[in-house]
Structure 1
Amino acid sequence: MSPEPPAAPPPARDLTALLETIGARDGRLVHLERTPARPARHADWPSWADPALVAALAASGIPRPWTHQAQAANSLHAGHHTVIATGTGSGKSLAAWLPAVSDILSAQRAAHAEGTSHRISAHGRRPTALYLAPTKALAADQAAALDRLSARIEAVQAGVAGAPRLTLRSSTCDGDTPLPERDWARAHADIVLTNPDFLHFSLLPGHERWARLLRSLRYIIVDECHAYRGVIGAHVALVLRRLLRLARRLSPGSPGPTVLAASATAAEPALTAARLIGAPPADVVAITDDGAPAGERALALWQPALIDPWGVGPADSTAAPDPGTTDTPGAPNPPSPRRSATAEASEVLVDLLSAGAQALVFVRSRRSAEIVAEHARRILTRSGPPLAGLADAVAAYRGGYLPEERRALETDLRQGRLRALATTNALELGIDVTGLDAVLIAGWPGTRVSLGQQAGRAGRAGSPGVAVLIASDNPLDAYLVHHPEDVLTAPEATVFDPTNPYVLAPHLCAAASESPLREVDLDLFGLPDESLLADLAERGALRRRPTGWFWNAALPGRPQDLTNLRGDGPPEIPIVESTSGTVIGTAPGASADSSLHAGAVYMHQGRAYVVEELTEEAAIVTPRLAVGYRTRARERSSVRILAERHAEAWGDGLTWSLGSVEVTSQVTGYNKLALPHMDVVSQHPLDMPERVLPTAAVWWTIPLETCEAAGVTPARLPGALHAAEHASIGILPLLATCDRWDIGGLSTALHPQTMRPTVFVHDGAAGGAGFAERGHRAGARWLEATLDVITQCRCATGCPSCIQSPKCGNNNEPLDKAGAIALLRLLARAARSARSALPTP
């Protein structure tokens, strides 16, 4: 049940001044960046815009478009692929709907004039449009906006004597849509709103039933295109290429659909959009000059205070030696010398709520969303009236909730019944929430792209807003709050590789089943020749015929089921309550071994459950009233080099390499950690299967004698390598569009293939996602930044702000901070020398 609305809070005070006041405590406010307000710049409606649509938009409070909306709409209407990259809340969707809806209405006017029910046009029929969103929530939000627009169009026409009745038929289609509604969409919808998953698994394999939509497809709108990065970016790019290929074949002689990509934070927008649709960048028009008004914005960089400010000193090493160590997904951070970002966010949130603000708190994990909401409610309850009345207006929002739970929370936030939500990035891209005063970001969100999206949720619709980036105990966070120039620079380029054979091969099979592959399709899919198709034929997946490459229909199953757009790991795991059999949520299958093993503690809406059993079908959990501990998995891993694609020999015998590797990992047990300080109280073994991941990695080796010459003895070497590995993983997101959960690593004092001390950093996706490759190219800067963050950290022997990792499979043992500094100095010096030796271009 939704909470009752609290007593009306006072109008939000000057939140920037409030942050400056509370940030003076212990020097937590490290930097404050103010962006002044800017006025709107308007343009005239295009001459081709349908008058009923223009009148309906005026009735909804849009008398004229902003300049970027008119520019993008004109480009799209003229048949140019277009990307619009303007700020959050700048009305990018209007640029798409203006030409799409105008064409739909114009076709109806022409049909009415001719006395026919259909208009035969250059595109064959009454035009259609397809809208793709990365989340169901965003598609549902756009569908609601189109419904309101349709009603206004009909109301406008009803007031014009003799005017034809104009209709705008839109429908949402995704995995939750009932079959009768899908049937209606196939038969009647002018605009279908969906997501790439539905496109891949349902619409494209069943394209014969969607022929009306595809033959008339005039526009494809790809919203929040920057969200498609890494492996999911490669998958979505190939799905879009399959869609464009089918639509062109179903409408021979037509130019095919025109694509509008939209993003608030895309770097190199034309290149990103072009790579998504398989077109040359020169064929994509980029609109980047934002004409929307903006209120004053403030971004605060915030570092929680030291818990024990007197317990710090110079770096030293006391770590004991240990065998090769790994960095793999785990659980909460070990104890920290600073307050946690989640605890800090909870308290700052209460300060903002007391000033009348409505706010979001973005966190990095599902568990953290529950913790922040519960902590804030507890503080409010203990504060007494009137703040205690706000406790029921704070909630958590995250993936894994059932759809009806998420919709209810979204509605309550829009209508003001909820004053704060602690959320994962599930709300980074999603519902259009206006009126938010503040956003707290507990921990670096992984990329400047995500930072812009999350911070942009505050101060939408031209109102002032504040955002606070609260540093977590993470090497990158510690580095960034003290280097605002790296936070405020342009967003990262979106990294994805559609030619990754692990991603491309199943999409080629799917494409061949939808329409035979021909030589003309090679460029669209980034194939230099037919060798991959021939390999698939040799494996029995495809069959070569004179008219092209066909899917081998004798094989069981569908080719679309060979891959999952969200990654090739296991599907989502339902979480089932043992006493009632109710599904209370879901969790990613890829992390089930480490988070849903037998004995694990699972949190949901503030309630604790203990996992009784994990199978391939579900995790069975039992509710517990009071669980005074949490759990963290223990893992072990190994890395085998399959092929070294690039190697550089640096000074002092160091090497810097990139190549294909095979990572084998296994959950071997778990620890129970007592609340609140997460001290290990017991260890428990587990018998879990090994998981093998073929991927890409960057690695460096260093001769043992070079280590000893730098003062790192064989006894200290494992800890020094391990610490350097952790810090490197933490800093790589500064250079690539990823976060530390997208990558992993391993360090060993003697690797069986290199026969040297070696550190690997690898992509966490099959075949690689481009992150290791980006790190390899930026080696010198990566190593310098890694060294910088360790040397500037005030801790004595290592902490989560420099060398400890929240995902370490070896419980952050051994670690040698001073040894890592010595090794990284050698590496950084060698990288600088190698770079300076390169010929000047």
Structure 2
Amino acid sequence: MVHTRCVTDLLSALTRRALPDQIAGIIERPARESRTQPWPSWVDPRLVEALAGAGASKAWIHQARAAEAVHEGRHVVLATGTGSGKSFAAWVPILSELLGFSSQRVSLASLTHRPTALYLAPTKALAADQMAALDALIAAAEAGARVGVATADGDSDLSERTYARDNADIVLTNPDFAHHVMLSGQARWARLWRGLRLVVVDEFHNYKGLFGAHVAHVVRRILRIANHYGAHPSVVFLSATSGDPAATAQRFLGDSFGPVQAVTEDGSPRAGSQIVLWRPAPVDSAPPDSGPPSDFETTTKLATDHDPDELPSEDAPRRAANSEAGDLTAFLVSQGARLLTFVRSRPGTERVAEIARERLEQSSSHLAGTVAAYRGGYLPEERRELEGRLRVGDVRALATTSALELGIDISGLDAVVVTGWPGTHASFSQQIGRAGRAGRPGLAVFIGRDNPLDQYLLDHPDVIADTPSESNVFDPSNPGVLIPQVCAAAAELPLQESDATVFGLEGTELFDELAREGLLRKRPTGWFWNTTLGIGAHETVSLRGEGSTISIVDSGDGAVLGTVDSARADTTVFPGAVYLHQGVPYEVEELGSEVALVHRHRDEELRTFAREETSVEILNTDESIELSTGVWALGTVVVSSRVVGYDIRRARDGMYLGLVPLSMPVRELHTSATWWTMNAGAVKEAGVSAADLPGALHGAEHASIGILPLFATCDRWDLGGLSTAAHLDTGKATVIVHDAVEGGSGCAQRGFDAGLAWIEATLEAITTCSCTAGCPRCVQSPKCGNNNSPLSKHGAQDLLTVLVRSMRDDRPKGQL
């Protein structure tokens, strides 16, 4: 039996533990009563009984309304809070139909049209979790009827895939498998397409940026194939609370398949809960029962923006957020809590778990083994084991990346610790919503990191409490996404004129253009993929911008410890790196193109941190407009990065022990960019001093990247940038905004085309922001690699004022 502490007791204990200035505020989330109604009359009685056994004898109003819409054949987006039982709204209609179908006497011919459903999740773990829940519900409802459910993904063996393809009524998978296997070999999955009644897109709010744009086309192609086989399935989007879900889902699906109905009124209960805003303790004041400090770094509290006359003052150095998270995790576990601790990086999860275990060894040694790390790169079996142990209580705390932000059903959690702002309000809401699910109260602790963004949030709790969740930002019409997706569709079935609307096109001009370029072949019966190119159309699509993965192998026994994306390998498993796996340090012997060999590290005290150099070179200019201030340009750039060495630090106290130089290869990203320059006269006109110029350019870069999604319908995480007071290629003060994927995504192009409107909006965002020195609403960025330093809000405003004036006065007719 797992015993947990009530949230009131946990909050009281946390308050007693805190030093006078550590709690920056407590946000109260009010309780909400449940609102229910009977399940619709068409729901199979056996299923109603099974739902009652699962604690859902009545439907929450949002479940009933969404299920009714799906039953009537409509597309629906259900956007309600974490733990509100959204999946029931999708499964009830299809399970009722399958149970009724199985009970009928049917002919052999009609068996080929047995109802089927396809479930898409952004992660394999979520599909596996849904599989377990469905199996339990079906087992309670079948009463002799057979309903087959199967997962099919990259981890499935041949027999599992064969069963899913040939027999399963409900197939649970992810967009990657759907694209690379099911759609590329669509004829082999004809049984599924013929009977397809329902497509479930789970965790819809997760589909943003280029990934969201690609998956939008994957879903449209699934509907196109189903229509070809005579099926017209409904699509149900299951989403956390988000901005304008109806418009977002409609943009995702396009106009070719009909309207999308939104259900957003949440009928699930919510107990009152608290969000504690927490500052790390000063370095020289160890928290009670926490043992000696173990910071890798010290931090400095920044002055607030409340008083315009207040000068920045240096406060006592504070402990690193990860060290604080490890201590709080141990403390909450010792108080009887079960929790998740979200950490911003993979190495961070290992460190936080390690610190928590060390603290528990000192104070509650019997609990030290109940804390573990959970992150990408672990083998699937290891992740499933950790999830299972957390459910039953063998593991009481997991230090995790955002991998557990998604809706895996882990009930009974008392608390969540969020280490650093996760980037969006939607992600923050998802993370804190993991505690206190299904009407139980929960406690969340937000630990501010050492950057202006987090410090601003600690000083302005209203930004966390009152800001609504963002809308998904993606653009299916992005040429870098649209063209390979059209080619993949042509390889599945020849394109017809009527298919233009599937891809949001007004006509077939793009099909003809791709035929002229040799990618497609036009025939009387349609446009076909050109198979003579020697590459499959589906191979040209990179849903996640992914590359290959590198296996991390123990050279002693040949065991595979995990994997790492090749793009991260240079900074994670470089030769000499200390690689942590569940708290056990391994030293990297060798990094190859497919394998990184490691062995147990002799000194468990040492940790390594990569040093990386990055530059952006302008390769060519495709378009440019001369201005009195400089140039407004679009072209191709190469973003070069290289690991030049690594720092060695002692784990116990973070002491710097030296730098080891490395000679690693340069990694290059060829992509598209928009840039503008400011000549000496323009800088002088703006009144920006040489000392303030780097911060002014940096602020302008951040603000413009933050505003560009308004014009490019992308996500700021799909963009990168650089600002410098004297760029090598331009010889002038320069701001570069580039696409963050190989070959470009079209976002920079759209920024160039938006021109004056983009920069005017950027200037307005800075000018109208009420802060004094810059904040997340204007010039700070959650993804800044330089920790938002240096930044000059007023300098950015002055530079952009001059730039806007020049663009208005100097622009050639019809441009900018």
Structure-2-length-normalised TM-score: 0.86
**One-letter amino acid of the structure 1 residue matched with residue 511 of structure 2:** L
Which amino acid in the other structure matches residue 150 of structure 1? I
Name 2:292's counterpart in structure 1. Answer: none
Which consecutive residues of structure 2, in runs of 5 or more, have no partner in the other structure?
Answer: 285-297, 305-314, 810-816
Q: Distance in 1 between matches of 2:108 and 2:775?
A: 72
What are the Cα deviations for residues 386-412 of structure 1, in whole angstroms up to 9, with x where unaligned?
Answer: x22211111100010011111111111
Amino acid at match of 1:270: A
CA contact (8 A) 2:210 2:714 kept: no
- 8 Å contact 2:357–2:368 — kept in the other structure? yes
Residue in structure 2 matched with residue 14 of structure 1 by the alignment: 9
Report the Cα distance in structure 2 between the residues aligned to 1:726 and 1:691, rounded to whole angstroms: 21
Structure 2 residue corresponding to 1:429, chosen from 406, 409, 415: 406
Identify the match of residue 302 of structure 1 among 259, 272, 278. Answer: 278
Partner SS, residue 187 of structure 2: coil
Is residue 343 of structure 1 aligned with residue 323 of structure 2? Answer: yes
Q: Name 2:349's counterpart in structure 1.
A: 369
The change in CA–CA distance for 1:21 and 1:248 in structure 2 (over 3 A counts) is same
In the alignment, is the contact (CA less than 8 A) between 2:606 and 2:649 conserved in 1?
yes
Q: Deviations over 1:89-118 (max 9, x none)?
A: 101011001111111122233x32xx6456
Q: Are the equivalent residues in 1 in contact too, given 2:120–2:175 (CA < 8 A)?
A: yes
Pair 1:141-2:116 in alignment:
no
* Residue 288 of structure 1, CA deviation: 0.2
Deviation at 1:173?
A: 0.9
Moved more, 525-534 or 763-772: 763-772
| 1:501 equivalent in alignment to 2:473 | no
Does residue 622 of structure 1 match 2:614?
no
Once the two structures are superposed, residues 336-391 of structure 1 have per-residue CA deviations (whole angstroms, 9 ceiling, x without a partner) of 943222112122223322322111000111100001000011111112xxx22211
Q: Does 1:264 align with 2:244?
A: no
Q: Does the aligned pair in 1 maintain the 2:416–2:431 contact within 8 Å?
A: yes
Match of 1:550 in 2: 528
- Matched-pair contact (CA < 8 Å) for 1:707–1:823: no
Partners of 2:617 and 2:520 lie apart in 1 by 32
Whether the 8 Å contact between 1:512 and 1:551 is mirrored in structure 2 is: yes
Secondary structure (helix, strand or coil) at the match of 2:211 reads helix
Q: Deviation digits for residues 124-144 of structure 1, max 9, x if unmatched?
A: 722111111111111111111
Match runs of 1:175-190 below 5 Å: 175-190=154-169
Q: Which amino acid is 2:541 matched to?
A: T
Q: Which runs of 5+ in 1 are unaligned?
A: 158-164, 316-334, 794-800
User: Of 59, 62, 67, which aligns to 1:65?
Assistant: 59
Counterpart of 2:185 in 1: which secondary structure? coil
* In 2, Cα distance between equivalents of 1:695 and 1:615: 29
Q: In 1, distance between residues paired with 2:202 and 2:590?
A: 39
Q: Name the structure 2 match of 1:747.
A: 723
State the partner residue of 2:504: 526
| Aligned with residue 470 of structure 1, among 441, 444, 447 | 447
Paired position in structure 2 for 1:664: 639
* Cα distance in 1 between the residues matched to 2:804 and 2:283: 37
Q: Is 2:703–2:762's contact at 8 Å kept on the other side of the alignment?
A: no
Spell out, residue by residue over 1:642-663, the C-alpha distance to the aligned partner (whole angstroms, 9 max, x if none).
Answer: 66889898xxx76896855423
Counterpart in the other structure of 2:251: 275
- Kindly indicate whether residue 30 of structure 2 is the aligned counterpart of residue 30 of structure 1: no
Aligned to 1:326: none
1:757 aligns with 2:713: no
8 Å Cα contact 2:210/2:718 also seen in 1: no
Match of 1:798 in 2: none
Q: 1:369 to 1:668 in 2, by over 3 A?
A: closer
Q: Which residue of 2 aligns with 1:289?
A: 265
Shift of 1:415: 0.2
The 8 Å contact of residues 126 and 216 in structure 1, kept in 2 or not, is answered as yes
- Structure 1 residues 137, 692: CA separation in 2 closer, same or farther (over 3 Å shift)? closer
Q: Does 1:201 align with 2:180?
A: yes
Equivalent-residue separation in structure 2 for 1:402 and 1:209 (angstroms): 29
Shift of 1:826: 1.4
Provide the rounded CA distance (Å) in 1 between the counterparts of 2:793 and 2:592.
44
Displacement of 1:507: 1.8
Q: Is the 8 A contact 2:630 2:679 kept in 1?
A: no
How many residue pairs end up in the alignment? 772
Q: Report the CA distance between 1:628 and its aligned residue.
A: 2.1
CA 658–784 in structure 1, closer or farther in 2 if over 3 Å, else same? farther
Q: Secondary structure at the match of 1:46?
A: coil
Residue 509 of structure 1 deviates from its aligned partner by 1.9
1:222 and 2:201 equivalent? yes
More deviation in 770-779 or 238-247? 770-779
Matches within 5 A, 1:632-781: 632-640=610-618, 661-667=636-642, 669-675=644-650, 676-677=653-654, 679=656, 681-697=658-674, 699=675, 701-708=677-684, 713-714=689-690, 716=691, 719-720=694-695, 724=699, 743-751=719-727, 755-766=731-742, 767-768=744-745, 778-780=761-763
* TM-align CA RMSD: 3.7
Change (3 A) 1:209 1:572: same
Q: Which amino acid aligns with 2:10?
A: L
Partner of 1:321: none
Which residue is equivalent to 1:588? 565
The alignment-based identity, stated in percent, is: 43
Aligned partners of 2:549 and 2:594 also within 8 Å? no
Which whole-Å deviations, capped at 9, do the CAs of 1:661-704 have from their partners, x for residues lacking one? 4233131512324234474722514241441331455x554332
For 2:90, which of 67, 71, 96 is the aligned residue? 96
Match of 2:380 in 1: 403
Question: What is residue 148 of structure 2 aligned with on the other side?
Answer: 169
Alpha-carbon distance change, 668 to 524 in structure 1, aligned in 2, over 3 angstroms: same
CA contact (8 A) 2:5 2:414 kept: no
- What amino acid sits opposite 2:795 in the alignment? L
The 2-side partners of 1:657 and 1:606 are apart by 50
Shift of 1:228: 0.8
Q: How much has 1:769 moved relative to structure 2?
A: 7.6
Deviation at 1:561, TM superposition (A): 1.7
Q: Which residue of 2 aligns with 1:324?
A: none
Q: 35-44 or 782-791, which moves further after superposition?
A: 782-791
The 3 A distance-change label for structure 1 pair 769 and 398 is: farther
Deviation at 1:755, TM superposition (A): 5.0
Structure 1 CA distance for aligned equivalents of residues 560 and 65 of structure 2: 48
